[in-house]
């Protein structure tokens, strides 16, 4: 079930909200758990069992780790938990990738497994991993209620596409959280904005990308417009979903951490990754990079740690060589910045470092979205004029004029200009009062426009479902 769909917006969500606020507090987690299981069952009837197994494994291992704290058995049980979680993720997400590569290397004919990728398995696996590891480290108290732990893992706002919510972030909210009209209103507004970003910007840019793929009249400019369109599409698609998840969490009394902080205004690739998909970046930092030694090691070891983290980051996104190359691509830029580029950028105007980041990121997302390495190289070649296509074409002009407004809105929306303007206005009491009156009307209008898109039959896929 998609957030950006009629069944979710006008059937599932209103019923869940009504039930949630009717029942006493002691039953609220139960309502959220049952609703979340139904939400997942709606799209993945069989794999809901897999998610429950992941919840049960984490629950039991957490109890065992706590019981054996201070002994070698605690280490054994956390190792067991991590192993089981990674084996489930590896089997369902990466089995066919390894079989395909074994067949290619050894010219064998091993049949691929007829299994589909469970939606959101990469996200909820990382959440269960962080729970048992934090219990082992003493950073989190063991959760003795299975309902509470399962609610944390299965909570439908962030279940299928993140952000990756740490147990420590919502530990107190699971047992005691506050509800208010202010929280509800703030959450509803955040949800509506995220929904509009996804449907009115990301989905339209997705149409542009499809038009590019179908075109037989490409040009160098068309290739660059495609790179720009997909870079903005994935940002508004994923950040829009994060906004919706954070907003829904706020409605139900949970405060999820931010997942995006205007990454396209970055001046370095390192800064870009401090602003992009922050929940994933901090997860790899705390559970892989720092345990490996981080940057407080010899230079060769730091290079190794960086390569490992970014190899895993790329592989986490998908079982394909394009994702692995994508991750290692960023590792290369981080190394270049640390040893060479940062010193250079300190001596030149910031605008040049900003352009460097935008170009590097756009090229990376061309690789990210390619069906295979051959298509990635072809697209990059088209961007730099090696395919023999003209600089400009009539079809390029047609699509630029057709989607130009969306490009402009997307570029402005990828910066904090609008947010800063609203915050500045709110410093004035009269303007703040006007904004408070306009805000619910604005939300209603956004929902009406989005609903009109649904009724019109617009397809609204979500890219990160495949992770």
Q: Note if 317 is an active site residue.
A: yes
Q: Would you say the C-alpha torsion 165, 166, 171, 174 has a positive or negative sign? A: positive
Pair 285, 293: CB distance under 8 Å: no
Q: Which of 179, 233, 317, 354 is catalytic?
A: 317
Torsion angles phi and psi, residue 361, rounded to 5: -70, -40
What b/e sequence results for 429-464 when a residue is b if at least 16 CB atoms lie within 10 Å of its CB, and e otherwise? Answer: eeeeeeeeeebeeebeebbeebeebbeeeeebebbb
Question: And the tokens for 274?
Answer: 């401090």
Tokens 């007829």 correspond to 114
Question: And the tokens for 290?
Answer: 């720092």
How many CB atoms within 10 Å of residue 91?
A: 12
Contacts of 292 (CB under 8 A, 6+ apart): 304, 305, 308, 309
d(CA 316, CA 123): 10
Catalytic residues: 317
């Amino acid at each position: 079930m998609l957030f950006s769909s009629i069944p979710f917006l006008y059937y599932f969500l209103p019923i869940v909200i009504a039930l949630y606020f009717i029942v006493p507090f002691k039953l609220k987690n139960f309502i959220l758990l049952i609703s979340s299981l139904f939400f997942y069952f709606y799209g993945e009837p069989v794999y809901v069992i897999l998610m429950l197994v992941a919840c049960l494994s984490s629950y039991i291992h957490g109890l065992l780790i706590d019981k054996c704290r201070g002994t070698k058995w605690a280490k054994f049980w956390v190792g067991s938990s991590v192993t089981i979680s990674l084996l489930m993720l590896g089997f369902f997400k990466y089995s066919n990738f390894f079989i395909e590569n074994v067949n290619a290397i050894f010219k064998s004919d091993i049949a691929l497994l007829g299994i589909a990728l469970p939606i959101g398995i990469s996200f909820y696996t990382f959440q269960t991993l962080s729970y048992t590891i934090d219990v082992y480290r003493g950073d989190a108290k063991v959760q003795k209620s299975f309902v509470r732990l399962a609610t944390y893992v299965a909570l439908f706002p962030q279940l299928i596409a993140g952000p990756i919510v740490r147990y420590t972030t919502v530990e107190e909210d699971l047992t005691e959280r506050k509800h208010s009209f202010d929280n509800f209103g703030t959450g509803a507004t955040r949800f509506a904005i995220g929904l509009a970003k996804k449907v009115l910007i990301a989905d339209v840019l997705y149409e542009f990308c499809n038009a590019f793929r179908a075109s037989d009249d490409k040009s160098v400019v068309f290739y660059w417009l495609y790179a720009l369109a997909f870079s903005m599409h994935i940002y508004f698609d994923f950040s829009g979903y994060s906004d919706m998840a954070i907003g829904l969490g706020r409605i139900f009394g949970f405060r999820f951490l931010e997942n995006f902080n205007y990454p396209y205004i970055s001046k370095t690739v390192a800064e870009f990754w401090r602003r992009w998909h922050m929940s994933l970046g901090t997860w790899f930092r705390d559970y892989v990079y720092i345990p490996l030694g981080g940057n407080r090691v010899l230079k060769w070891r730091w290079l190794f740690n960086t390569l490992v983290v970014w190899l895993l980051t790329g592989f986490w996104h998908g079982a394909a060589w394009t994702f692995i190359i994508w991750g290692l691509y960023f590792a290369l830029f981080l190394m270049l910045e640390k040893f060479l580029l940062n010193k250079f950028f300190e001596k030149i105007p910031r605008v040049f470092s900003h352009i460097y980041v935008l170009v590097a990121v756009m090229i990376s997302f061309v690789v990210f979205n390619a069906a295979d390495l051959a298509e990635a190289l072809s697209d990059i070649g088209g961007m730099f004029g090696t395919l023999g296509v003209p600089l400009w074409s009539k079809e390029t002009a047609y699509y630029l004029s057709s989607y130009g407004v969306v490009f402009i809105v997307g570029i402005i929306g990828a910066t904090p200009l609008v947010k800063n303007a609203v915050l500045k206005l709110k410093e004035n009491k009269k303007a703040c009062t006007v904004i408070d009156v306009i805000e619910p009307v604005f939300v209603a209008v956004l929902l009406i426009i989005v609903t009109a898109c649904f009724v019109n039959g617009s397809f609204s896929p979500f890219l990160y479902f495949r992770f």
